[in-house]
Structure 1
Amino acid sequence: MFDKLMAAQQMAEEIKKRLDTVYVHAEVESGAIKVTSTANKTITAIEIDEEFFKQADKEEIEELLLTAINKVLQQAETVNATEMQAATQDMLGGLGGMFGQ
């Protein structure tokens, strides 16, 4: 039983490492602001189009930046949850034998 629990913990750590290499992207205003994140919800890049930056005001940039960040974090959450759910089902299937199922 302990071995299966250790294997489950190791699998969870491997998934977390893998999710650090999965990237999601979001953009607003037809690419004026682009944000990249890992599936573990770490923002890795923010790009603001130079022409947009020159003509936009501070409040507009801040508002759109928040929107893009929230979009990319939602996408990261979706990927993360999907991966974790699949892994949990795999782990529970493996743990079922532990309880005679």
Structure 2
Amino acid sequence: MFGDMMGMMGKLKETQQKVEETKKRMDTVLVDEKSSDDLLNVTVTASRIIKSIHIDDALLEDKEQLEDYLILILNKALDKAEGIYENEVAAVAKDGMPNIPGMDMFK
């Protein structure tokens, strides 16, 4: 039994390391989002860091419209990024969980 416990602890430590590596990798996964009329394009990482924003000159003439576009498109991009991040980290964590009877909440 003690050997099983040590094996489980080792597997948990390995899983924790894989989760951390996955989180770092999310810094390199890019998510692009653009407005339907292609006047605004944003790129964020899966770890929700804004990398670039491209604004068409036509939007620069209407501050209110630009603000609305920024809010809408940034929120869409960040929602996508969050979904990717959560799915990737959860998959790694689930894959690395030891088989403990009664603890099947991750399956």
Superposition TM-score tier, normalisation by shorter sequence? 0.7 to 0.9
- The percent of aligned pairs where both chains have the same amino acid is 37
Give the TM-score taking structure 2 as reference length.
0.79
- Provide the residue aligned with 2:14 in structure 1: 7
Among candidates 74, 78, 81, match of residue 76 of structure 1: 81
Among candidates 57, 64, 89, match of residue 62 of structure 2: 57
* 3-state SS in 1 of match to 2:96: helix
Which letter maps to 1:74? D
Who wins on radius of gyration, i.e. which is larger? 2
Give the number of the structure whose residues are more often helix, by fraction: 1
Shift of 1:20: 0.8
Aligned length: 95
Structure 1: how far apart are the matches of 2:70 and 2:31? 16
1:24-63 aligned within 5 A: 24-50=31-57, 52-54=58-60, 56-63=61-68
Deviations 1:40-89 (A, max 9, x none): 01111111012x134x3111100111111001001101111221221122
Gaps of 5+ in 2: 1-7, 103-107
Gaps of 5+ in 1: none
Structure 1: how far apart are the matches of 2:91 and 2:69? 33
* 3-state SS in 1 of match to 2:53: strand
Give the TM-score taking structure 1 as reference length.
0.83
* 3-state SS in 1 of match to 2:31: strand
* RMSD, aligned CA: 1.8
Q: Does 1:85 align with 2:90?
A: yes
